[in-house]
A and B are shown apart, each in its own frame.
Chain A
Amino acid sequence: MTGLSPLIEIRNLTRTYHIGRTALHALKNVSLTIEQGEYVAVVGTSGSGKSTLLNILGLLDRPTEGTYRISSQDAGELTDRQRTTLRNKEIGFVFQEFNLLARATARRQAELPLFYAGVSRKESRRRALDALAQVGLADRAEHRPEELSGGQRQRVAIARALVNSPSLLLADEPTGAIDTQTGEEVMTLFEQRHQEGLTLLIVTHDREIAARARRVITLRDGEVISDERRPEPAAAR
C-alpha cells in the first residue's frame, strides 16, 4: 500500500477540558501524519493524552483547536452522518474500558456494527462468530459480559472492532487485561490484518508490544516528545 495521500493528517491539534474555571490541555499543539498501511504504537505515561488522541482520530471526539484530515477530508467539516458512516465502515475502535453493551451476548456485541451497516441477520451472525473465533471466543458467543472474564470482555471488544474489516484500527491498550500468551495471539491477529493492508494504531504501556511496531510516537503532558520510525520490524516474527 503506497499512500498517495496520508490517511491521517493532524495539524496543531489541541484538546482542552474545562473543569470549573481551570482549563486542562489534554493535547497541546500536536501535529502528526500517518500514511495508509502504517503500524504505529503510541506510548506515554498515564494521563499523557493517548486516549484523548485516539478518540479524536476515531471521530468519537472533536479537537478544541487545530485540524484533522482523514483521507484528505477535513473531519471538522464532515456531517454527523458522514462521521458515523466512517466509524462504521472504515474505523475499528477498541476502547480502553471495552464499552460493551451491558446485557447483550458476545455475538450480539460483535454483530452490532454489522447491524447498523445493514448486513443481513444471517451474514452478520456468520461474520460475528468468525470474528469471535479469531480472538479465541468461539465457545463464549452466547455469554453476556457479566459471565465473561476481563480478558474475555476485552477480546469481545476486539472482535467487534475487527468484524467490519475496517481499514484503520485504533486500539487503546488492547492487551491491557489479557495475559502474555493471549496478548501474543491478539497481536498476531492484528499483524495479519496489517499484512492485508490494515492501518494499525495501538496505544500501549507494554515496551515489547511497542517494539513490534514500525513507528513509535511518545506523548508527554499532551505533547509529542518523540516520533521514531524503524524501517524493519524490531521484534522477531
Chain B
Amino acid sequence: MRLLKYFPLAVENIAVRKLRSFLTMLGVIIGVASVLTTLGIGRGASADIMRDIGSEGLTLLNVESGTYSGDSWTSARPLTMADVAALSDHSLHPDIVQVVPLYRHYIFLSNGENNSYIEVVGTTAAYAAIHNLELAHGRFLTENEIAQRTKSVVIGADVVQRLFAGADAMGQSLSIEREPYTVVGVLVRQGWGRIGNLDGSAIIPLAVAQDRLRPPFTPHRHRGEYTVSAIHVNAVSIERLDAAARQVEQTLRLRRILTEDEPNDFTIDNQARLLERANSVAATLTAFLAGIGAISLLVGGIGIMNIMLVSVTERTREIGLCKAVGAHNRDILVQFLVEALVLTLVGGLIGIAISYGLAEIAKNFSSPDFPLVVLIEPGSLAAAVSVSAACGLLFGLYPAIRATRLDPIEALRHE
C-alpha cells in the first residue's frame, strides 16, 4: 500500500513537534473523554430506571386522581374508599385480582433523639404481595393488624439508619404524629423503583393512617368517605392488563359522572406508559448531557484548530519547500491527512481509555440510593471519535490545502 510510506514521516513529524502534537491530542482527548462520560452517565441513568421499572410486577395499574399532560399535573376530585370498594367488585371487573388503596403523607418523624422527614404509607396487607416486598427482619402488616387498626409499622432501610442509627429496630417504638407505633418489620433495601423509594418509608395500616394523619393539601374526606392518594390495581395477566384498565376507567367515569365528551379527570398508568415517561425523562437527561458533551467537543475542536492555525506559517513554508523539491499536492495532502489521522486516533483512543477509567471509578461511588453508572455505548463511541477525527482532519488539512494552492516560492515566503 502506497499510503504506508507516509506513516513513518507522519510519526516523525508528530514526534518532532512534541508540544504542538500533545496540545492537539489533548483537544481530542478532552472532547472524546467528556462526550463519552457525559453520554455514558445519561445512558447509565436511563438503563437504571428501566431496570427498576422492569423488575416490578408488569400487571400493575396505578390509578390516581388528576391528569398528567406534558410536565403539568391537573388535580381533580380525590379518589375515595368508595372507589376502592366499587373497583373491588369482581363481577364488574373480571380482569382485576387485587385492589390496594394507598394513603400517603410526608411527615417529620422522631424517636426522641433522631429526626427524619419520611413518607408514611397507609395501606392493606395485599400491598406487600403485589409489590413483592421482601423483609430483612420481621414481617409485613397482617390482615388482622389492618382490621384491628393496630399501631404497627414496617419501615425501610433508610429509616432504620436515620432513626435507629442502624441498630436493631425490631420491637422498638416509633413516634408518628406523637403516637407510638411498634416496629414489626424492616424492608430489604431496594433503591429507587417504580413505586418510589420505600427505603425512606414507614408503612402502617390504612385505617390508622386515614384516622390519624392529615395530609395538608388533599381533603381528608370527600362526601363522607375517606380519600386515598392512589389505588394500585393488579390485573390477572399481562394480556388482560388493557382490559383491566378499561374496566377501571369505565367504573371511575361512571362514578364521577363524566359525560361522553368530557375527558378523564384521573390517570391510569400501566407499565408501558411509565416506561414511556421514564424514557422521556432519561432522554431529556441524555440530551442535556450530550449538550455538555458537544460543548466540550467544540472546546476540544477549537483547541485543535488553534494549535493547527498557530503553526500555519511554519507549515506553509515547509509545504513550499516540499513542493519545491518535488512533492505533488496529493503527496502533501496525504501526508497531512495521515498526520492528523494518527494524532486524532491516538488522542481518541486515549480519550476512550480515560472514559472507561472514569466509568470504573464511578462504580465505586455508585450506591443504590445514588446510582452512578457510566454506560459507554458503541454509538456514542463512534460519534465521539469521528467528530474529533473530523476536527483534526478539518483543521489539520486546512493549512495544507491553502498552502498547496500557492507557488512554492510564495509558500516559502509566507509570513
Q: Which residues of A line the B interface, CB within 8 A?
A: 55, 58, 60-62, 80-81, 84-85, 87-89, 93, 95, 99-104, 108, 112-113, 115-117, 121, 160, 164
Contact = CB atoms under 8 A, between A and B. Distances in A.
Contact of A116 (B328, B407, B408, B410): B328
Contacts of A108: 12
A84 B408 CA distance: 10
Interface stretch (B182-190, B319-327, B372-380): B319-327
A84 B326 contact: yes
Size range of the chain B interface in the assembly:
20 to 34
Contacts of B17: 103
B409 A60 contact: yes
Interface string B8-19: 110010001100
16 contacts: A60-B408, A80-B329, A85-B326, A85-B328, A87-B325, A87-B326, A88-B327, A89-B326, A95-B412, A99-B321, A101-B318, A104-B12, A112-B322, A113-B325, A116-B328, A160-B325
Contacts, number: 67
A134 to B, nearest CB: 18
B16 A103 contact: yes
Contacts of A95: 324, 412
A84 B16 contact: no
Nearest to A59: B408
Interface of B: 5, 8-9, 12, 16-17, 314, 317-318, 320-329, 331, 407-410, 412
B326 A88 contact: yes
Contacts of A100: 321
B324 A99 contact: yes
Given A60-B324, A85-B326, A115-B5, 7 more contacts: A55-B409, A58-B324, A85-B328, A88-B325, A93-B325, A103-B16, A113-B325
A49 to B, nearest CB: 14
A55 B409 CA distance: 7
A132 to B, nearest CB: 15
A121 B12 CA distance: 14
Nearest to A108: B12
Contacts of A60: 324, 407-409, 412
A116 B318 contact: no
Contacts of A62: 407
Contacts of B412: 60, 95, 99
Contacts of B328: 81, 84-85, 116
B121 to A, nearest CB: 73
Contacts of B321: 99-101, 112
